Every structure is written in structure tokens, then in C-alpha cells.
A and B are shown apart, each in its own frame.
Chain A
Amino acid sequence: MTSTGTTPAVEIHDLRKAFGSVQALDGLDLTVRTGEVAGFLGPNGAGKSTTIRVLLGLLRADSGSARLLGADPWADAVALHRRLAYVPGDVNLWPNLTGGEAIDLLTRLRGPADPARKKLLLERFELDPTKKARTYSKGNRQKVALVAAFASDVELLLLDEPTSGLDPLMESVFTQCVREVTAEGRSVLLSSHILAEVEKLCDTVTIVRAGRTVQSGTLAELRHLTRSSVTAVTGRDPSGVAALPGVHDLVVESTGDGPRARFDVDNDEIEPVLRAVTDLGLRSVSVTPPSLEELFLRHYGDELALLDGEATL
């Protein structure tokens, strides 16, 4: 695998794209460094697929810059595509081709194919390649695209919500495949609205909303910016904690052991707050780091509030 050194695999700055009056991308930034798995997180309609299509040279951006493997994704599309593989979120195949034929076609159009690799991946994904594509379910069509992508010897994988039709078993096969790919030094851009998937696989995360990047960084960096959840049972009344800087949403309940306080605390204020709680006669405490769910809730809280707990988050 050739590494391009310091040049990032993907580098997007202030990307804008409008479809008629709809502003699909509105100043989006995204970086994928070579050899890392970058999560691309956002709700449906946030502009994830549009961004990937710009990177594939399918759409032409209105303004801003996009570089892919150090080249221009629009002008150098054909040369670049030899070095990348793409799995669309909604895989459509030729109804009269079998799955095996579709995989061969897609890999051959990219470059030399490796039949052994294809066979191995077919086994791992438990896909019957002799069935006509029209008989495949959504999950099986997705497997066809995944096998074609993983069977290719490429530097970069662009995966657009690749697991939306896979069952949990197949998801874990997918996770393994992505880990193998990164172990070989290749880069992956993984768009998703499934937080656990991103949390499990990604080194960095870019969160987008309404065509704009709202936050990006490593998982550790993002967590640093955010709050932890604290649950503490104390000897004395903990109501006073609410007045401390960085404490949010304090709820006090009484239990047999004493009053139980639950609250969120900004991570940069956590030390003085925990000290104050300890001084109240601490009986038990749990501090949980924020899951991406909570990060997500914070960014889309206003929208999610409308859904009134219906969301699966």
C-alpha cells in the first residue's frame, strides 16, 4: 500500500452545493487523514451523501475546496477512482445479473480483480452469488457492494451508511473488515447515523447538520468538550450542588441509603464538583463518560425534543 505521507486522504473546506433553492451543503469541512477511519455523522438530509457524491466527482460543488488523495475529485475522477471504492447507501443492481457477476463487473471496472479475495468475502458475508440481483433483499444488495469494495485493492473506502440493511452478525463481519482495511494502512470515510457504529470503528468524527460541520475531532477530543453524567448517594442533602459552576439538570431523589443526586457536569469543572460531593458524605458514586448518543442529543436536541422519546437513540 502506498501511503501519501502527510497529504490527507480527504480534505474538504467550506464546501457549498445548492439544488435549486435547497442548500444541501452550506460550508462543510471534513478531513480524513491517511490510515484512519473517519466517522461522518449526521441525521438524514444533513448532506452526507451529497458530500460523498462531490468526492466521487458525480456532483460539482458550487464553491469551496475538495481534495481527494491529493487530487481534484471532479477533474481527476477517473484516475482517482482506481484508488478508491464506494458503497452507496441505497445499492441498486442490474436485475438480470447475478450477485457474483455484479461484483466481478464492479471490481473489473476499477482495475484488476482478485477472485480469491472475492470468494473469501462471499463466505464471510454469507452471500449466495448465483442469485439474480432482483431477488436480493436490501441487505444482500448491500453485501454485493461491500464485497466488491473490500475485494478491491484501494487506498480509500467511501462508505455511505453501509450497514443500514445488515443484521447484527453481518455488522460484526463488516466491523472486522474495516479493521483489517485500516490495519493495512488504508483510509475509510464512514458515513452513518448509527452512533454505536461510529463509536466502535472511528478514530475521528465529524458531525454535520444542515450541510454544515458542527463539530469534528477525535472521539477523545469531543468528549473533552462535553459533560459527564454523575449519580451519587450522599449522607447530607445535595441540593446545594446545583449552584456550583458547570452543573446541569440536578435531580434529587430519596432512597433508603440517603438522598441520590443525578446531574451532568462539564468535564473541565468535574474536579471541584466531585470534591464538593465527596464532602457531603459520599456513599456511592458513578461517573459515566458521555456516549456519542449524548453528543448527538446535544447537537440535535431541538429536533429530537419534537420526537418526544420516539427516537431509538
Chain B
Amino acid sequence: MSAASAPPVARRAASAPGRADAGRSGSLTGWTTLLRFVLRRDRVRIPVWTASVALLFAYAAVALDTLYPTAADRQLRATLVSSPAGIMLSGPGYGLEDYTLGAMIANEMALTVMVAVAIMSVLLVMRHTRAEEETGRSELVRAGVVGRHAPATAAFVAAVVANVAIAAATGVVLVATGLAAVDSFALGAAVGVTGLVFAAVAVVTSQVTEHARGASGLALAVLGVAFLLRAVGDVQEQHGSWLSWLSPIGWAQQVRAFVDLRWWPLGLSLALTVVLLVLGAVLAGRRDLGAGLVPPRAGVPDAAPSLASPVALAWRQQRASLLAWAVGVGVTALACGTFVDSVGGVVAENPDLAAFLGDPTDLVDAFVAVMTVFLALAVGGFALGSALRARAEETAGRLEPVLATSVSRGRWLAGQLAVTGGGAVVLLVVSALGLWLGALSVGEGAVGLGGYLGAAFAYLPAVAVLVGVSVLAIGWRPAWAALGWALFAWAFVVGMFGALLDLPGWANGISPYWHVPQLPGAAVEAGPLVGLSLVAAALLALGFVGFRRRDVPVG
């Protein structure tokens, strides 16, 4: 450096604001700058999430009001959601005896939104903490005047910003539809605070493993447990048993918005958030940058003889994730299966419901059909995530060295998708087995294993369409590869709320799942299944053609 540039450097050092008080502010130094950076990076994501949640509430309020205009209509609906499956997918059932629109929204819509907001919060925190460490970018940041806890603090505060925005938007939208103001904002707060709890969970799990993927999985597993505890607790007892009170989702639902409002359960959520943040800070103080609390083990010096093909590589990359999915889907299916017998019981006690749904055998069929859609959506989520790994391999720069060997592009992509397809088949079998064993364990054998398998495998072409959309994008316009998730999200909305939202036929028809016959009750129709299979085959074939022609990495 020439002498001329020295004075400005010296002046800057003297006037640098961080230097004088660096000792005092210590481990949090720089978090406000990082917060602005985090918000800058998520400037699209956070508003999109907020708007999506607000729109969902607005649409649900309007649709439910249109669908169930009278008190009598709403009471019928209340009977329906009193079935075990209904309770699992809704709430503790406050206000069922006088089912108002507000009570309906709090009981039935809030759960889905809370789960979605929890997932958003986990991913938001992980994106700015462990993922940054894993890529080595935080090394660069932490080498600056930045405290040890500053990145996690910035990420958590960004989650606070996002959740406050969602809470406020929820309140505003519900008030706008004519609901009571205090209860509307209480429900919004319940949603937002649930997001905060899981943001804090993510702060803790991000300390444990070296990988963002593993840390996110751990946090989402906590979410799954919270979901199950609440579901089982609420089924055990109306308004929730002690199990429900072990779940942050349960606390948020115990606010009893639009029925008999109480705020204090949210205090439990906030207290847990604080405890988790302290735990996260303690754990963070005990580890090195980039390291996890679980140290990595030494591996093998030579690859197994089988690791010699693209499909073997893809399997090696995804087997752990597939195992986790299989356990998750299996446990959920088993739990759902054990409720099959109570469906008949509920109908026997409730002539209204029987009149609404028909005789008990049909009811079991209908219940199995609903559970199967739910599980098949989960399988679709796995398949999509698995297929998109092909894109991730390319962006991470790991595709080039493989294509520089004597592996053709088609063979490589086929290897990736073989694991996707095989994994989807395994998960469908697991979900059918789980339902069947669950039902058998409570002595309900009306539907045989074949029936469950048939119902599950009817969704395979729909799953293939989801994958096909992503493969088409990967082949021609890789930047749009995540388009599959948009279709998946739509399939989820239609699958879970299709009947509730009363959407027009074409809107339902966009979801590949909507075309699948609702087995075992419905008649087996070959038409839609063949149609979906053809669409999937065409999408995949086109995707392969594009992938063989384009530049790698794409220019």
C-alpha cells in the first residue's frame, strides 16, 4: 500500500464505533447489522409467508361462512369434527356446542397454520445459522467485529419479526371478516407465538449437528412430537388431556379464541421460548464454529464395492433421509390406524353423523381414504424433496465431476430418480402396513391389507406427476425447479381443505391428487390413473430430453 492511503485507514480505525465498546457488548456485537442483512435476504420470503397465511384465513372465513350459513349447518359440522380423525386434524374442540364461525376457524384452521408457521420459523432460523456455518460463510462474518451469539440472535429476531407480522396480519384479516377484534388478535398471537417456540427449538437443534439438514430434521421431529401429543391428548379427552398440555401447539389452542378467551397459555409458550434460547446460548458457548455437539466419527478409507454407480451414489446420499421418512410415515399411519375402530363407535352414538355419512362400513372406508390422502401427501413431499436433490447436486458443484466420468446425463438422472421412485414405493407400502397393523391392533379388520395397499398405491401416479413437474423444470429451466413445491402446496390445500373451501372444479383439478379415486370406498376407476401415469411419463420424458441438451452448470 502506498503511504497516501495510510491516513484514511488510521482515521477509520479511530472512529470505528465498534472498537471502543467491543469489550462491553461482547457476544452480541454486530447483531443489528446482521439482522438487517437477514431481513434483506428474506425480504421476499417473509412477506410471502405473511400474505399466504392472511389469505388462507380470509378465504377460510369467507368459504366457511358460505358453506355453513346457519347454526344448524355448523352444528352438523361440529359433529363431524368430533370424530377421532377430525379431532386429530383440528383442535381440542372448544365451542363445539355452539359452533360459531370464529370457533370453527380457531378449532379447524389454526392447527394447519401453526404447523406451517412453525416449519417456516425452523427453516428461517436454520437458513441463517447452521446453514451459514456449514457453507463456511459465517467464518467470514465471524472474523469481523461480530460476537459469538450475534448470528443466532439476528436469525431469531428475524423470526420474531416474521411471526409478529403473521400474527398482526391474521388479526387484521379476521377482524375484517367481521369477527371479534380481541379474539382475532389472540388467535393471531397464538399462531405467532407458536412460530417463536419453534424458532427457539431451531436455535437449540442448530447447535447439535454440523449439518443444517440434520438440525432442521431434529427441529421438525420436535414439531411432529408436539403435533402427536396434542392429537392424542385431544382425542383422549374433549378440551384436551394432560398430554395436550405437554405440546406448545396445545397451549396455543388452549387460548380458546372466540369461545372463552384466556391469554395465559401463551405465557407457557413464551417461557419455553426463553428457556430454549438460554439453552441454545449455553450450548453455543461450548462448541467451536462449524462443529456440532455430536462429534463426527472417522469413516472408512475405501468405498464398499457396491458404491460404483449413480444409483448407488444417490442411495448413499438419501438412505438416512428415507429411513427417517419411513419411521415418520409408519408411526403416523400406525397411530391413524388405531382410530379406525372408534369411527364406528362415534357413529353408533351419534345418529346425526350416521345420517350424514351413511352406514358404518362406508364410514371406515371414508376414514381410511382421508388418512391415505394425508399419508400420500407426505409421500409426495418426500418424493419431491428427493427429486430436487438432483438440482442441489448440480448447484453444489457435485454433478460436474460425475459427468466428467463415463456416466451419461441420462444415466445419472435416472439413478437419482430411481431412488426417488423406490423410496416413494417403500413409503406407500409402509403407510398401508401402518394403517393395517394399527387397525388390527384394535380389532378392526373390515379392510384387509390389500385394501390399504390399493388405496395407497392409487396415489403413485399422482406422486409421479409431482416429480415429473420438477424434472421438467430441471431439464429446461432449472431456476424453476421448486415449482413442484408450489404444486405440492396446492395439492395439500385441496387434499386437506378441498371440500371445506368449495373450490371450483378446475382449481381442484390442478392438484394431481384430486383425480385419484378415494379407495377403498370409491369404485376403482382406471381412467384417471392411466391419465395421471401418461402425464407423469410425458413430463419425465420431456425433462430428460431437456437435461441431455442443456449446459451443465446452466449458464
Contacts and interface: CB of A to CB of B under 8 A. Distances in A.
A169 B296 CA distance: 29
Contact of B551 (A60, A95, A134, A158): A60
A147 to B, nearest CB: 12
A94 interface: yes
Contacts of A77: 403, 408
A31 interface: no
Contact of B406 (A20, A78, A90, A101): A78
Q: Chain B contact residues (Cβ within 8 angstroms of A): what range?
A: 35 or more
Interface in B274-294: none
A134 to B, nearest CB: 7
Contact of B300 (A84, A101, A109, A110): A101
Contacts of B552: 53, 58-59
Contact of B405 (A88, A106, A115, A308): A106
B395 to A, nearest CB: 10
Given A59-B552, A101-B307, A109-B309, A91 B401 contact: yes
Contacts of B396: 92
Interface of A: 19-20, 53, 56-60, 77-79, 81-82, 84-86, 88, 90-98, 100-101, 104-106, 108-111, 115, 129-132, 134-135, 145, 158, 308
A81 B404 contact: yes
B210 interface: yes
Interface in B292-320: 296, 298-303, 307-310, 313, 316-317, 320
Given A58-B403, A88-B404, 18 more contacts: A53-B400, A58-B404, A81-B405, A82-B406, A91-B401, A92-B398, A92-B401, A96-B316, A96-B317, A98-B299, A101-B299, A105-B303, A105-B307, A105-B308, A115-B302, A130-B298, A134-B134, A134-B210
B128 interface: no
B3 to A, nearest CB: 13
A90 B397 contact: yes
A170 to B, nearest CB: 19
Nearest to B403: A58
Q: Chain B interface secondary structure, helix, strand, loop or mixed?
A: loop
B288 to A, nearest CB: 12
Nearest to A118: B302
B407 interface: yes
Contacts of B72: none
A105 B406 contact: no
A100 B300 CA distance: 7
B406 A79 contact: yes
B391 interface: no
Contacts of B401: 86, 88, 91-92, 106, 145
Contacts of A109: 308-310, 402, 405-407
Given A59-B552, A60-B551, A131 B398 contact: no
Contact of B316 (A60, A88, A97): A97
Given A58-B400, A134-B210, A108 B308 contact: yes
A98 to B, nearest CB: 4
Contact of B302 (A79, A100, A111): A100
A229 to B, nearest CB: 25
Interface of B: 2, 134, 210-211, 296, 298-303, 307-310, 313, 316-317, 320, 396-398, 400-408, 549, 551-553, 555
B320 to A, nearest CB: 8
Contacts of A91: 401
Contacts of A129: 301-302
Contacts of B549: 60
A252 to B, nearest CB: 26
Given A110-B405, A111-B406, A92 B397 contact: yes
B216 to A, nearest CB: 15
Nearest to B552: A58
Top 8 nearest A-B pairs by Cβ distance? A98-B299, A92-B397, A104-B303, A19-B555, A109-B405, A86-B404, A101-B303, A108-B308
11 contacts: A58-B551, A58-B552, A58-B553, A86-B401, A97-B303, A98-B300, A100-B301, A101-B299, A130-B298, A134-B296, A308-B2
A201 B379 CA distance: 55
A124 to B, nearest CB: 15
Nearest to B214: A96
B303 A100 contact: yes
A81 B299 contact: no
A88 B406 contact: no
A163 to B, nearest CB: 17
Contacts of B316: 94, 96-97
User: Which residue, of A86, A92, A132, has the highest number of chain B Cβ atoms within 10 A?
Assistant: A92
Given A97-B316, A100-B302, A20 B309 contact: no
A118 to B, nearest CB: 8
A131 B299 contact: yes
Nearest to A110: B405
Contacts of A132: 296, 299
A221 B309 CA distance: 46
B406 A81 contact: yes
A98 B301 contact: yes
B406 A94 contact: no
Contacts of A84: 404
Contacts of B301: 98, 100, 129-130
A130 B299 contact: yes
A90 B398 CA distance: 10
Contacts of B313: 94, 105
A116 to B, nearest CB: 12
A104 B402 CA distance: 12
